[in-house]
Structure 1
Amino acid sequence: MKRVKMLILLARRDAIGERVKITMRELADELGISPQSVLRLLDEMEGDGLIERFVEGKKTYVEITPKGLAFLEDLCDAISEVLYNGVIIGEVISGIGEGAYYVRQYSHLIKEYLGFEPYPGTLNVKVIFPKTVFDALCNVRPVILPGFVREGRTFGDVKAYRVRIGNVEGAIVIPSRTVHPPKIAEIVAPVYLRKELGLRDGSKITIRVVKE
């Protein structure tokens, strides 16, 4: 764990691709350990090929090696696999009242591409975990609802991601010109989700992305 913290600290100090000046005292203060422990840790990490140290007079410089960078990349991949695995935890909120209108416009496409007749409205969920809607959907291929023109008005493409809330299947929909920030998930389903699942503003829910 101390090695991980040290590598992250050095990376934040821009020790990637170049040497950066360090002092044992500064690193000790940031890591919450003694300068002697920092020195031993740097010795071990250099011995394992994770960093390189360069001494010029009384100044010490450190650079993360390719092996150290590969270690960080593997760690990042492992963390992403655990955290960003298609699970969204959120809180039900009220929308701005436009969901029903747009669901009606796209209902024929939702039925054709997603296989269900949508309830005329959306469930709006403020994402608590992960940071944004996109973090949970980054490894999932969306179903594209193609744009169209109706009565002189253009409706753009919509990305739809199949999800499950409890035993109800629906989809997170993201218009090409969304007015919602990435912290808000808009969900369409064949039923009125608030009534079906007993939800109200403030209710905590878990959304699971269905990976095809």
Structure 2
Amino acid sequence: MKRIQMLILLARKGALGRKIKITLRELANELGISPQSVLRLFEEMEEEGLIEKDVLGRKTYVEISTEGLAFLESLCDAISEALYNGIIIGEVISGIGEGAYYVRQYSHLIREYLGFDPYPGTLNVRVLFPKTVFDAFCGVRPVILPGFSKEGRTFGDVKAYRVQIGDVEGAIVIPSRTVHPPKIAEIVAPVYLREKLGLKDGSRVTVKVVRG
């Protein structure tokens, strides 16, 4: 564990592709161990090929090695795979009242592409985990609801990701023109989700991405 903490600390300090000057006491204070323990840790990590170290007089210079970077990348991949596995945890919030209008406009496409008649409104969920809605959709292809024109107004493409909340299957819908990854998930479903699942503002919910 201390090796991982040390590698992350060195990476934050900029020991990537170059050697940086460090002091044992500074690292010891940040890791909550003694300077002697830092020295031993460095020796072990150098033997394992995780870091490269030079000592010039009283100055110590350290760089994360190629092997150390590969180790951090594999650790990052393992954490991402464990955490970002198609689960969204959030809390129910009230929308601004536009959901019902847009669901009515796209209802024929939802019926055609997603296979259900939507309740005229969306359930709005503030995402608490992961950071954004898109983080939960890694590797998942959306269903594209194509844009159209109606009564002189243009409605753009919408990305729809099939999800399950409770025992109800629906979809999170995101306008294709969205620039910033959204922190609010708008869910369409064939039923009134607040009533069906007994939800109110502040209710904690878990949303599962339906793959395939």
The one-letter code sitting in structure 2 at the alignment partner of 1:89 is I
Partner of 2:140: 140
The one-letter code sitting in structure 2 at the alignment partner of 1:172 is I
Partner of 1:187: 187
Partner of 1:129: 129
Match status 1:45 vs 2:45? yes
1:74-85 paired onto structure 2 within 5 Å: 74-85=74-85
Deviates more, 1:176-185 or 1:128-137: 176-185
The one-letter code sitting in structure 2 at the alignment partner of 1:119 is Y
1:108-119 paired onto structure 2 within 5 Å: 108-119=108-119
SS in 1 for 2:202: coil
Q: Give me the whole-angstrom Cα distance separating, in 2, the residues matched to 1:4 and 1:78.
A: 14
Structure 2, unmatched stretches of 5+, are none
Deviation, 1:138, is 2.4
1:9-158 paired onto structure 2 within 5 Å: 9-158=9-158
For the structure 1 residues 180 and 20, does the alpha-carbon distance in structure 2 shift closer, same or farther, using more than 3 Å as the test?
closer
Normalised to the residue count of structure 1, the TM-score between the two structures is: 0.97
Contact 2:133 2:181 in 1 (8 A): no
Normalised to the residue count of structure 2, the TM-score between the two structures is: 0.97
Alignment: residue pair count: 212
Q: Give me the whole-angstrom Cα distance separating, in 2, the residues matched to 1:63 and 1:13.
A: 10
Q: Give me the whole-angstrom Cα distance separating, in 1, the residues matched to 2:22 and 2:171.
A: 50
The one-letter code sitting in structure 2 at the alignment partner of 1:132 is T
Q: Give me the whole-angstrom Cα distance separating, in 1, the residues matched to 2:145 and 2:180.
A: 18
**4+ runs deviating over 6 angstroms:** none
For the structure 1 residues 198 and 137, does the alpha-carbon distance in structure 2 shift closer, same or farther, using more than 3 Å as the test?
same
RMSD: 1.3
Deviation, 1:166, is 1.1
Q: Give me the whole-angstrom Cα distance separating, in 2, the residues matched to 1:173 and 1:38.
A: 50
Deviation, 1:129, is 1.2
SS in 2 for 1:92: strand
Deviation, 1:177, is 3.9
Structure 1, unmatched stretches of 5+, are none
State the identity %: 80
